Every structure is written in C-alpha cells, then in structure tokens.
Structure 1
Amino acid sequence: MPFSFKRARQQEPAAFPRSILDAVKSFYATERKEPQFKPPKHDRERDRRTHAQAATTITTPANTNTKARSRHHVARHPIRLPHRITQLPPEVLAHIFVLGAEEDVMFPVTVSHVCRAWRYAALHTPTLWRRITLDAGSLLMWNYRIHRAKACTFDIQLCPQSAMSHLGYYNHVQLCMHVAIPYIHRWRSLEVRFNGYAPFLWNAALSACCGHSPTIEAPALRELTLVYPENDDTKEFALFNGFAPRLRRVTIQGIRLAWSPSVFQNLTFLDYTHHGFTRGAQAASEVLYMLQVSAGLEELRLAFPWKGDSASRYALSASFSRSVILPRLKKLALYIDGADVPPALTYTLPHLSLPVLRSLYLVSPAAPRHSQHPEVFPHLRNVLKSFPRLPALSSLHLAHAWLDERFLASLLATLAFPGKPHLTLTLEGPQVTHPFLCHALRHTGRRLRALALVRSEKLTAEAILDVINRLSGVYLQSIPPGAVPAISALYIRDCKHVDWRSLQWIAAVGILLKVWEGGREVDMRPAMSLQYDYMMT
C-alpha cells in the first residue's frame, strides 16, 4: 500500500537550488572595488582583441617574449611620478602660499582645492587667510575665512563698486563693515576706497570706529588708507578711541580727521591730500599742526586741491609763529593737480625745517592734449621764495607743469654745494628741449652727478651730447687724458627720438649710460666691447 502523503509532497512548490543561493550570497558578501584608472573605450576594445589573440596562440619558447610584452601592454597603468614641489618643507610651501595671496585674494581658495597635502597646508596656515576683501564674494565666505585665520591679525579692504543707488551704496558699505567691526582689535591694516558718490559714506564705513569705548581701539593697526575724492561731508572723525600706538603708514584723501597724538605721533609715512573744506592760511595751519604731531616722518607726500584762488592771494604769511622741524624726513613729494600752485602750499613751506631731506619730488599730472591749463604753473616764483633751505638734498625730480627753466635755474642756484658732484636731476615731460636744458643748467657748475630724462619727446641724441659738452667745457669726442666730464651718469627713459646707440661710446670717457624702453632696461653689454675698441684706438 503506497504512503498516503507521497502525492502531497510532490505537489509542493520547488525550492531554489543551493547553488543559486550560494551565488547570490557570494555576490553581495564580496567587497567590490572599482579600478582607479579606467582606460578609454578604444583601449578596452584593443585589450579584448589582444586577449583573444593570446588565447589562440600556442605557448612556445619562440613567442614567450611576445606574450610577456602583450600581457604588460594589457595591464599597463599610468605612472605617476611625485612632483618636486612635494619635496618642499611645509614651512616653505606655506610661505609661497602667503606670497601668492598678496597678489590674488582668492588664491587661498585655489590652492586648498589642489590636493590633500596642499589643503592641509593651507588650512593650517592662518596668515594665508588674513586678507579680507569685503567687496568681493559673499559675506558668508569672508566669515569662514575669518574663522580660518584663527588668532592672526587681519588686513581689511573695502573698495565697493558704485553701480547702485545712493541708499543701496550706503547700506552695502554698512553691511560689509559690520562683518569686520567685531575684530577691530585684530586689524593690521584698513583700506577703504570709494570710487563713486553717495552721501555720508564715511558715516557708513567709520561710524562704528568712532566713540569712547575700549572695544574700538586698534592696538595692532599698522597701516591706514582712507580715500574718497568726491566727499562733501565736512564732519570730523575721531578714530579708534584715540588709541593706535603701532600705526606707521597713513594715506588720506577726502576726509577730515581729528589728528590725535596718541594715534598719529609714530608715523613714518604720510600721503596726505587736503580735504579742501578750508583754504589758504587756514588750510596751511591745519597741515602744520599735523606735521608737528607727526614729527617723526621719514617720507611725506603733500597735495592741496586747486580751488581756483586768484593770484592776488599769493603772498607769504607772517601770521604763523609755528615752525615745524622734521628731523627724520628724507623724501618729500609735492603734488599739484590743477592750473596753478594753491596758496596753501606757499603758506606752508616757509615754516618747515628739513635738515636731512635727501629727495625732493615736484610732480603734476601730464596735461591732456586739448587742455586749457598752461604748460607750466604761472606763479612758480612764489614757490621759490617760500622754499626752506635744503642743505642735504641729493636728488631732485621735476615733472610736467613744474618744468619752468627760470624756476629750475634759480632752484639749482640756491642748493648747497659740498665741493663735489652730488645731485641727481630728473626731468620728466615734453617741455624738456635743447634750449630748456641749456638755459636751466647754465649755472649748475659741478653740482650734477647724474642727469635723467624721462619721456622727453623733443630731445635727440645730438642735443643731449651738446648739453653735456657745454657742462664739461670740452668736447667729449676729443677729451684730453685725465679730464673728467661734468656728469658721471646719464639715464634715458622712454625718449622715443633719442638714438641711444649713437651714445654708447660715452662709456669710454667715464659716463655710465642706462636706457629704458617700454618700461624695461636695455642690455648695454655690447657697449663694453665698443669701449674697449675706443680705448685701443
């Protein structure tokens, strides 16, 4: 008798075989690794063909090398040799990054996305993130960079664009400064430049820096730049609660500041353009007080805006009893952008004492072709009368509207003569011609050590050579043995009508010649062989 349950067991659904279950388990249990290098599609097809040929080839001693080469070709991988920059010490690499960040504000972000090693070096270099430019990128990004700078000091820069409404411009400036104000005690430098007009921009930028609270003091501040040429707000700003003991360099234009001794007494560099809200004697009095506070200056650039004052106001002032001595000042630049010398300058100069001044720059911008301004300032004689004594002057630079031959001749005659050539004279502008040089330098004697000519378009090589002959009192072409020329160096920069190749021979008589074209110095080494040939003949 058959078993009663046998038929029922045969009707049960068939179970999966063990081989299928094992295959599924092995598929999911095995760790799958993707190759690091995936060859292109045409390489994969070539590899398949190579595999097929290798499978059909009979292994013999003759084709063993061929199989080895094909197997090596199939299994090839890109060879990655370490770059030499990876062998640099981390400190050197970090210093390179910091130097690059000075040129490009986004350089830290760029180098931190190159590789793991560079990212590690960038994130562990706080000085790399110290530059905060609030007008570029989102403010959230700058908050992250402030966090990455850790305890490092900051270089704050705000130079917003003016393509917005007045209210939008004001709000944007205030919002940007709101990011940096909490870290004012860690500012190393502050630079604010406004290129467009909007009312009360200085209030938006500096209102949080004014007051009587220790939280707004700037003990680490070393450099300050505030520039807004179109400012019309006459408000006076007292910054940093009167405390910035490390401040050394200041650039000011278009703002009125309370010149506190506790902030500005340690300056070594000052680039000051007067705000223009006062004129004449009052403006000169303000500047003299500033210079008296900052008596330790080593470099000064002074400019007064031209306000169209009449010529009748040009007179030396006798109402000042203050005499300002600048015992460390070595470089002075007087810059005038206008039709004439402002009266405030002639009021200021007589009260200055400059015992160690080495370099004097009298500069004005080049006048446009169709400008109504005169080529030279009409009242330079008043400036000459107001100049203080310059016993240590060794470098004099005149540019454009300062190039008056009578003014230059009189100024050179007033300079001290120590008994040997000591003065380097630089003349820049198209006003420099052959008659100009002959008239202006006729009484210089042996004062000149070097003559530099910059962008003098009307000069030629023959004219320059004639001027040197007049100064020397003898023709350089037939100079007797032992005679010394009037100057020992001649510098020519971007004078397009001067054929400097015809002047190379002057090196043989002891005159150093240097030439610049397009901003680059010309290689004068061929002149040495010419000098040797001249001496041999």
Structure 2
Amino acid sequence: MAMDISVYRREPTAEDVLFANAQIKEHESAISAIEGHIASLHAEINDLRREQRQHEQTIRHCKGIATLARRIPEELLSKIFEHCVEDGYTRAPIIVSHVCSAWRKAALAPRVWSHVYVNCDAFGGLARTRFWLSMVRQAPLDITVLCGWNPNWQVTDLMDLLMQHIDQWRTLVIESSTFSQVYRLLLPIVEASAAVPNLREVRVDIAAPFDEPVNEDEADVQSLSRAFAPEKAPRLSRVQFRCDVVPLLPVFPSHITDLSLSVGNSPIQRPLSASSLMTILSGVPSLYTLAIQMPLLYERPFVPSDDPARTVSLPVLTSLTLYGPTNLNEFLPHLHTPVLQRLHLRSLEDAGYRQEPVGPSLLRFLAESTPPLELLELHDIDLTPGAFASAFRALPYLRELRLHESSISDATVQLLHGGGDGEGLCPRLTRLDLRWCGHLNGRALVELVQSRKVDVNPDAMVVDGSTPNADPISEVAVIHCCFVKEQDVLDLAAMTVCRLIMREEDDYCRSMDCCTNVRYRIRLRLKHLPHSSTGWASRFRLII
C-alpha cells in the first residue's frame, strides 16, 4: 500500500503514527521472511558446492588413474628421473618416490641412484652414502665428492666405502678446497691393488689459493697420474682439471684422449709460462681434444719460453681450444699438431684493435704444423689484412670460418671468391659465421656467395659461376654486423641458408649472452612473414 507523502509536509496525527508503526512491522516481517529464504538458499548452495567438490575429487582421482604421468612406461619414467639427478637435483630419487606407487616403482631402478653425491663435511654423510650405494646395486656409478676444509671428518670411512664399489665407477668428480684433501682422497686409490676398469671421466676442482702450505708429495696432485695410470684405469679418456695455478709437473694419466685444463691465477711465485704448459702436455701424447683456459687478470704476465724452437708434439690431436688473454696465443708455435682439424682461439679481453702478436704466432703455427684445419674460430681476436691472407693461403682444407669482433674487410673476403675476381683461397669453405664484424659490407658477402654458386647447364653439362675447385657456400650466419643490410640478408637467403641466430649446439656466445639479436629478428619477422606469400619460405632460406 502506497503511503501518502503529504504527511511529511505537516505534523503527523495519531492515526499517521499508528499507520507508520503498522507499516514498519509489515516490512520487518517481509525482511525476516526474505532472510530466511536467503539462508535456505545459502544452505542449498553449500550443499551443491559440497557435492561439486565430491565430483571434482572423483574427477581428480580418475584423472590420476588415466594421467600421462602414470601411463609413461616405467623405463622412460626412470630415465626422466635420471636426468633430474644429472641436472644436480640430488634428492630426486627420494622426492619422486613419494608421489605415487608407479613413480615409487620407477624410482627403484638402480640407475636412478647411480649419481652418488658424497659430502664429506655433512653430518650423516656416511649413512646417506651407504644407503645410496645399497640402492644402486650393480649399476654404473657417477660419483661426486665434496670435501671442504675439515681434514679428517669422515673422509677415510667414506673412501673405504666407495672403494668397495670401485669396479662400478664410471665418472669421478672431486671438488675440494685444498690440495691436501685431494691427495687424501686419491691416496686409497693409489694404494689399492684393485683397478678402476670402467672409469671413463675424472674431474678435479681445487679452489685453494697458491699460498696454501702443502707437503711435497701433495704438490701439483701428482697422485692423479698414479691413481689412474693406464694399467689401473684403462678406459679413462677424459680429464677436467681446474686449480688456482698451473701445475709444474705432468700430473695427468698418459693415456687420456680429452683434457680440459683451467687455471685461475698467475702469481709471482708460480707464473703462467709456456715452459710449464709444455711440460704438462708432454706427458699426454695421446690427446685428441685439448682445451686450455687461463686467467684474464693475473699478477705476473705470461712468461714465454727461453727456447723459441722448443715444441711439444701431439700427433693425434684433432681439436684445440685456447681461452685466455691475447698473449696466451703466443704458446701456439710451441705445439706440433699435424692432424689438427678444429682450432678455437678465444680471447677473454676485447682489446678493440688488431692484436699484433696473434698474427705471427698463428702463421708460424700453421707453417710448422701444417694442420689440415677444417674449422677456424677467432673470438675477440683480430688479424691484419696481411695475416688473414697468409692464414687463408695456409688453409686449403678449411670448411668453416667463425669470426667474432673482427675487422675483416671486403678486400679480404674477396680473396675467398671462387671466380676469376679473387684468388680462390680456401676452396673447400662452405660455412661462414660472422658476428660483430663492423667493417664488412653486406654486398661483399652477397658477391662471395654468388661467386661460388654452382649453376649446372643441363644442355652443355658444364658448371658456370665458379671454378670447379671451389665449393659453394652452404650457410652464412650474420649477427650484429652493422653494414650488412636487410636487403643483403634477403639476397643471401635467396642463394643459400642465411642464419641470424646462434647455433643450437657448440656455441660459445650462448654462455656469454652477447649475440642474442632478438629485436632485429623480431622486427624482420614481423615485417616480412605476415605479409609474405606461400612461396616466400621456399624462395628464402632464412633462419631467424
């Protein structure tokens, strides 16, 4: 019932007051009824939500039965768990075994437990290692031993436990703070009469500074060569050794084929020298792969050899990588590598100019060893035009050239032309990887590819466009080369594969994060790909 609003314009009478109170009671009763209805609806909603949660729980249970994680074959699931451990997640076998019965069964595979992490300083490390070894059974062992400054804590007991499974060792990693601890860890292996028949790889990482007092027997970790001598570890092929100073004596097993040596300092009392490097390498004549990394900053500069004619022969070496300051490349002429196929020279400093000592050292090395190089990489190492030309003349078998931060010129590139306008150097060259080459014009690359392009005339059966002795360029990579324009990239992609991104594998720049080139690639993709016809991708072989 509508209320007369005129009552608000005058003094209310007794009848008006009675009428208002009656209206109040009526509406309060209506509100109470509505609240009761709302409460019943809420209760009904709660009942429906409870029922909904029950259905959802049933769905989750059914999905858990039909989920891909439960339908993965046990062997594949075990392999996934292995990769988790390989990536450093040491507790993976314990964690995954708590997920479900299928995962628990897959986690019981011995290979899931084959990566044994032994922390000599951790409380309970002995019991943990004993449990891990019991789960491994007869599977190969990949052992990592972490040993800190404590000289005695659990080391002897842990090594005795590991020695009981010595015939299962596949890889051994020792990370220690001191030379003496490494000596203590290797001593049981040296004194043991048992061999290490299945050991493939050893890595030693010593973080100790040079001024740490060590005993004469512990110096330079000479026990490494005795512990893994050819008769004790016949299958050992790879050694990674990282320490603060370069060893003075041969410390590596003589039969290894892959050596990675990383030195962190060059102190005054034991400087980085060509003599010490030659002494080390003279004890490993069977190397196929060698990587040497030296410090960028040190107290004393690199010490050249007193005898410039002294060399160390590595007759079967096929891959050589040198990381370090520019003057480390002066060590090159002291190596005799007659079958070397891959040479990676990477400077840790960007001098911003052509480093004069590099050219003569490289040319002397090429002249004396005459290696059949198929790959040459110069990372932040530059040569003069004359040195480039002489190097190219000495590399008739070169198939891939990688240059980073180079001032190579158009005239130098022209030496590689396959037609009559160049010298036709490096006739087997098929792949170019050029990054941060600020003096190189894009048209020079287009003309190079064009000069080596092979066009077969089906009527005359002759090859036009390049000399028969020059292979065509199969791939060109250009990243951050400021004078290689967009049209140059498209012209290259029309004739061969043109790559604007880093390689998926074996790319040093991925670790340095210097050649991502993201903005340029996005801009090029947005400019051309959305508006391109269906035949665009077939006409342009562009990897962006």
Answer whether TM exceeds 0.5 for this pair. Answer: yes
Give the one of 167, 170, 174 matched to 2:149.
Answer: 170
TM-aligned CA distance change 1:467 to 1:504, over 3 Å: closer
- 1:132 paired with 2:116, answer yes
Please say which structure displays the higher CA radius of gyration.
1
Tell me the alpha carbon deviations over residues 200-258 of structure 1, each in whole angstroms, 9 at most, x when there is no partner: x0211331312652267533321111133654167033132742222111112326497
Equivalent in 514, 517, 524 of residue 499 of structure 2: 514
Query: Cα deviation per residue 1:460-500 (whole Å; 9 max; x = unaligned)?
Result: 7xx12224426866999xxxx94249751343254274555
Q: Distance in 1 between matches of 2:118 and 2:354?
A: 42
SS in 2 for 1:170: coil
Change beyond 3 A, Cα 1:494–1:141: farther
CA contact (8 A) 1:507 1:527 kept: no
Residue of structure 1 in register with 2:386 after alignment: 406
Q: 1:241 to 1:470 in 2, by over 3 A?
A: closer
Aligned twin of 1:269: 258
Letter in 2 for 1:147: S
8 Å contact kept, 1:425–1:448: no
Quick check: 2:347–2:379 contact (8 Å CA) kept in 1?
Answer: yes
Equivalent of residue 308 in structure 2, options 317, 320, 327: 317
Relative to 1, partners in 2 of residues 1:397 and 1:253: Cα closer, same or farther, differing over 3 Å? Answer: same
Deviation, 1:278, is: 6.6
Mapped to 2, the partners of 1:172 and 1:493 lie a distance apart of 53
Offset, 1:340: 1.6
- Aligned counterparts of 2:432 and 2:91: Cα–Cα separation in 1: 40
- Determine if contact 1:188/1:222 at 8 Å carries over to the other structure: yes
Q: Is 1:283 aligned with 2:271?
A: no
Once structures 1 and 2 are overlaid, which stretch shifts more, 112-121 or 301-310?
301-310
1:364 corresponds in structure 2 to: 347
Q: Would you say 1:489 and 2:474 are equivalent positions?
A: yes
TM-score (norm 1): 0.65
Which of the numbers 400, 404, 420 marks the counterpart of 1:428?
404
Q: Which SS does the other structure have where 2:291 is aligned?
A: strand
What is residue 452 of structure 1 aligned with on the other side?
432
Aligned residue identity for 2:170: R
Q: Is the 8 A contact 1:189 1:223 kept in 2?
A: yes
**Residue 192 in 1 paired to residue 161 in 2?**
no
How far residue 359 of structure 1 moved from its aligned partner, in angstroms, is: 1.5
Give the residue type in structure 2 aligned to 1:290: G
Alpha-carbon deviation of 1:114? 0.4
Partner of 1:60: none
Does residue 354 (structure 1) correspond to residue 360 (structure 2)? The answer is: no
* Aligned match for 1:529, one of 532, 535, 540: 535
User: Residue in 2 aligned with 1:113?
Assistant: 98
The match for 2:204 is 226
- Deviation string 1:102-124 (CA, Å, 9 cap, x unpaired) is 2233322221110122112212x
C-alpha spacing 1:513/1:258, structure 2 compared with 1 (3 Å) = same
Give ranges in structure 1 of 5+ residues lacking alignment. 1-41, 51-70, 161-168, 368-372
2:432 aligns to what SS in structure 1? Answer: strand
Which residues of 2 match residues 127-166 of structure 1 at below 5 A?
Answer: 127-134=111-118, 139=125, 140-158=127-145
C-alpha contact (below 8 Å) 2:377/2:403 kept by paired residues: yes
What secondary structure, in the 3-state scheme, does the structure 2 residue paired with 1:516 have? coil
Aligned to 1:56: none
Residues 464 and 448 of structure 1, relative CA distance in 2, 3 Å threshold: farther
**Distance change >3 Å, CA 278–CA 245, structure 1 → 2:** farther
Give the aligned CA root-mean-square deviation in angstroms.
4.6
Distance 1:44 1:403, change over 3 A: farther
Secondary structure in structure 2 of the residue aligned to 1:100: helix
Instruction: Provide the rounded CA distance (Å) in 1 between the counterparts of 2:152 and 2:517.
Output: 38
Partner of 2:459: none
Distance 1:285 1:502, change over 3 A: closer
Distance 2:70 2:399 in 1: 51
Cα distance in 2 between the residues matched to 1:499 and 1:365: 29
Q: 2: CA distance between counterparts of 1:210 and 1:458?
A: 54
Secondary structure of the corresponding residue to residue 328 of structure 2: coil
1:35-80 Cα shifts (integer Å, max 9, x gaps): xxxxxxx999549979xxxxxxxxxxxxxxxxxxxx9999997242
> TM-score, normalising length from structure 2?
0.64
Is 1:245 aligned with 2:234? yes
Alignment check: 8 A CA contact 2:289 2:320 kept? yes
Match for 1:171: what amino acid?
A: N
> 1:397: Cα distance to partner?
0.9
Sequence identity (%)? 17
Listed as ranges, the gaps of 5+ residues in structure 2 are 1-39, 417-421, 455-462, 503-515
State the alpha-carbon separation in 2 of the partners of residues 379 and 44 from structure 1. 86
